[in-house]
Structures are given as structure tokens and as C-alpha cells.
Amino acid sequence: MKTYLSFFFLISITINAQAQFSVQDIRIGDTTASYLDFEFWQQGNRICFQDENNDGFVGLMDSLTGNLVSASGKDFLFDVSLAPITQSINGPEWGYRIGGADVFYTKQTGTNRSIGKASWNGTSYGVTDLSSSLSGKRFAVLCSKTPTDAVTNLIYAKGNNILNFTINYSQAVNPVTDNPVPYAANSSSGPRFIDGEQALITNDTAGGFTQIFRYDLATSNLTQLTFDAGNKTDAFIFTAPDFGGSRLLFCTVNNNLLRLYKEVSNVFVPQYDIVLPDTSYHFYFSAEPFVFQNKSYLFVCAANQQFVPGSQNNSLPADVWVVGLEQTNPLFRKVSDNRVALRLDPEVFITPTEAYIYYYEYKQNGNVHPVALHKCSSGLGSFPLSVNEISPNTTNYLIYPNPAQNIINLQSDIVSDVTFVLYNTTGQLLMTGKNQKQIDVSALNPGIYFLQLTDKTGKSTNCRFIKD
């Protein structure tokens, strides 16, 4: 059943570009290996991906630097029979649940495709096939990202191939149960779960346009969320702390701009359109939101030509941008370098010092192997980019005890002129203060924290301490 909400008119604004940013785009990992359609599990400091041989791997991430812990990132091999990306559309990804996360992916056995699940058993990843006992092919699995779910929720395609399928929902049980999901419009990503809800965000045709809908998994109700002109796909809903904790919705409109909506009294009201300052781009894709140090951003791929999932040669060049969602003074920042390259599927990994944007890149000489993994600085961090500048104690300041349980003491000759900000390891701002010789940390959860100390001249020093 479709429920229609009241219509709000779009308010247009003009957004000016911010400039002056030094791009730091580096290739990481093994230069002889491929990193196809990777995804991070931020809380677990892990990455999953598949290589050119269709082997699936999990790698460990350094939470302070955003680098791979090992040279290749191939720390755990979980399967050697993943379906090729051109046939599965989506590579391995993390599905969240109480107590951790598992890897879900399209498994290929002969000509059959099924849903694989790789779970950590304490020493390695064990594999379960969730649909091999059922007739028909299932592929392109997407997962819920709600860590309070007892069981991960899945959506996936069921059909003969990537051109002939239906979308289905199931919990991650063995075998899966095929529950059809309404999905009537073309999209590069398909439906996706709304964080914290037992619901999907999807699209359907209404009033002559492709609009965004919410599909309730319990009631099967389909509620229209957008009503304005334009064909909309690839939507996300997320909570934005810098918008008063309101939920925002953004989506791609007509493939060439992004539109932002704010939830007001359970209605998503159009706010403004986002268009990159470089007008040579005619197609946007793979846009996703993220929050860093209590501010909302999104990253997006921008290309000269339309990108078709499953193809790796029709969208050159494709560059990666970061956009800040401040209406009055928005940020536009191209974070990838100036090489002509096809860059795909950006992801974010947040450290205490920076939000890093990663992408994978196909070679442009006709040989698609290996597929390179790149790491880009966003330049958003309030700490220096080099974690070598972070130490438990410095020559200017002494923090003790370290580790601490209730109180940390700050000793310095200039403590009367020092301000501090306290962050956790995800970059979330937790506390600020000035001219304090003691800081009460009793309410903090056990873990690693960071203090940025700034003197009256504006010089900042970054210190790390442990809360027991």
C-alpha cells in the first residue's frame, strides 16, 4: 500500500566552491594484487574485497593511520569461488549484527550463484552457503548496517542474470526466504536498508518521475518520500548532528546532480541541489554520506559519461569528490589526483586525525588487472595528517596518569592559556575546555582518546591517552 505525504516546494540556492587543497592520493597495498569492490567495517578495523582471481579476503586496518596492517591486506582468505564482479554487480560486504559483523557475497559454483556468508571463528573465517539448497540463482547481496540487529538483514537479486531478476529480502538464515521487494526503477545501487529501522529505501514511478519510497519490511507498506520533479535514484537516509540531529535524505537526480532533503515532522522537505563546480562532469554515481567530527559530508564519483554497472571502460575519466553539507558555506573538494583514470566505488575510513577516502581503479591500457587500491586525504581533520605527531606525552605538555580511570592531569608552563578538545578514535568531538589542570574522564568508555591542546599563539599539540 502506498501512503502519500504532503508536498513541499524545492528551494534553490547557489553554492560557491571552496578552493585551496593539496591532493594526497596514494596507491596502497600490493601493486601486483587487485582490490575489487572493497568495503570497510569501521568498528572492527577490517576491510573485505575480492581479487582478479575471484578469491575473497579480509584484511586488518590500522585504526590510527588508515593503512593496511599487512603489505597486501590479504590477511584472511575466506573463499576462492566468488562470482565475477561483472556478473554479481556487488562485491563482498559487511553485514552488522549484535556482537560483530560477517561478510556476505555472491558465491559461484559452476553456473549457479548463491549467497555466501563468512563468519569469524576466532582464528579464521568459516563459510556457509545460504541458498545453494534452493533452486534459482541469487546474487548482488546487500546488508543491513544496524549493530543492534540480532540477525543481519539481506536484500539480493534472484534471476537468471543481471538483466533479468527480482529483488528479494530475507534475514541471514540458512536457507534464505525469498520475500519480493517493490523496485520498479533503474538504479546503480538498488534498494538499501535504512539504518536503525526494519525498512528499505527504494524507488518507484509516481507522477511521471522516479521517486524515493520507504518500504516497511513488517507491514509491506510503501510510503512515498519525495514528490518534486526529477528522476531520483540511489538514496540514503542518515542522521546529521550538524542539522540539529535531524535525519537527512539525499539522492541522485537525473544522474547529474544531488538533492538534499531534511526530515521535518516526518516529512522530507527539499533543501537544495548540489552540483560540483567543475561543469565538465555530466554524471554522478556512488555518492554516500559520512559524519566526521560532528559534521556531515558526502563523497561522490563524477564522470564525463554515464557509468553502467558491470562495465569498466565507458566512463573515463571518473574522479572522486568530497562535499560538505553546509548550506551557507559548503565545501567542494576533489580528493583524487589528476590522472585520467576510471575510479569506482569510494568508501570512507575514519581515524582520529582524518577521514580518508578510498577507491579502486582500473588500468587504462586495455588490461584491467591489477585493480589498484587508492587512499586519499580529505583534509577535513583538525589534527595534523601525520600520526607521528601524536604521542602519549610531549616536551610541551605532560598528561598523567596514562592510562587513567577518572582524572587526567595536564602539566605545562603555559596551562593558563591552553584550550583543549577531546576526541574518540572515530573523530567524534566529546569535550572542550580552557585553562584546566585536570580533566574528568570518568564518564568515558574504556579505550583510546586524543587531546588537541592549543596555546594562545594558535600552535596545536596532539596527545594520546588510554581510559581504563
- Model confidence pLDDT, tens digit, residues 293-352: 889 999 999 998 876 655 555 557 899 999 999 878 889 999 999 988 889 999 999 988
Least confident span in 179-183, 185-189, 461-465: 185-189
Query: Would you say residue 385 has pLDDT above 70?
Result: no
Beta-carbon contacts of residue 216 (< 8 Å; ≥ 6 apart): 198, 199, 222, 223
Q: Give alpha helix (H) positions in 29-174.
A: 85-88
Please provide residue 4's backbone torsions phi and psi, each rounded to the nearest 5 degrees: -100, 130
pTM: 0.79
Domains of the chain, first to last: 2-377 (2.120.10.30), 388-467 (2.60.40.3080)
Q: How confident is the model at residue 410 (pLDDT cuts 50, 70, 90)?
A: confident
The number of C-alpha atoms within 13 Å of 169 and in the hemisphere containing its C-beta is 22
Tens digit of each residue's pLDDT (9 = 90 or more) over 218-258: 999 999 999 999 999 999 999 999 999 999 999 999 999 99
Average pLDDT over residues 76-100: 93
Which pLDDT value is given to residue 352?
Answer: 82
Instruction: At 145, list the grid cell.
Output: 548496517
CA distances from 381 to 178, 353, 386 (A): 44, 5, 11
Instruction: At 299, list the grid cell.
Output: 563523497
Average pLDDT over residues 182-211: 83
Q: Which residue's entry shows cell 580518508?
A: 356
Q: Which of 452, 438, 445 is nearest to 467 (CA)?
A: 445
Query: Would you say residue 422 has pLDDT above 50?
Result: yes
Instruction: At 453, list the grid cell.
Output: 591542546
DSSP assigned state of 185:
S
Residues facing residue 170 across a β-bridge: 154
Q: Which residue's entry shows cell 568515558?
A: 444
Query: Would you say residue 57 has pLDDT above 60?
Result: yes
Contact between 78 and 127 (Cβ < 8 Å): yes
Q: How confident is the model at residue 384 (pLDDT cuts 50, 70, 90)?
A: very low
| Sign, CA torsion 312/314/320/323 | negative
Which pLDDT value is given to residue 209?
Answer: 93
Which pLDDT value is given to residue 313?
Answer: 55
d(CA 313, CA 70): 31
Contact between 140 and 88 (Cβ < 8 Å): yes
